[in-house]
Amino acid sequence: MRPLTVDLRQEDLRPCFSWDEDLSIAELRQRLQGPDEHDRLRLLGKMLREARDIDVWAFVTPLNP
């Protein structure tokens, strides 16, 4: 497994909130924009549950009305 990091600029490492899944920051960004809705929602839920608020905003933006 990749090492954990709190520095979200280190795209090749695992974000600290993904302690149970070997997924790099770059892979997480890619999958959050991917076509698999189930995977996107699962990862978003995981981030909302495990990550600090400020870290979540590094990956997602609010929807426009």
Q: What is the pLDDT of residues 5-40, one digit of tens each?
A: 999 999 999 999 999 999 999 999 999 999 999 999
**Residue at 19 is within a domain:** yes
Residue 61 lies in a domain: no
Kind and range of the H or E run holding 4 = strand 4-5
Instruction: Name the domain count of the chain.
Output: 1
pLDDT at 53: 93
Range of 39's domain? 4-56
pLDDT at 7: 96
Check residue 37 and give its pLDDT. 95
Q: Is 14 helix (H, G, I), strand (E, B) or coil?
A: strand
Q: What pTM value is reported for the model?
A: 0.88
Q: Is residue 42 part of a domain?
A: yes
pLDDT for 63: 78
Asked if residue 65 is part of any domain, the answer here is no
Residues 6+ apart with CB under 8 A from 43: 28, 31, 32
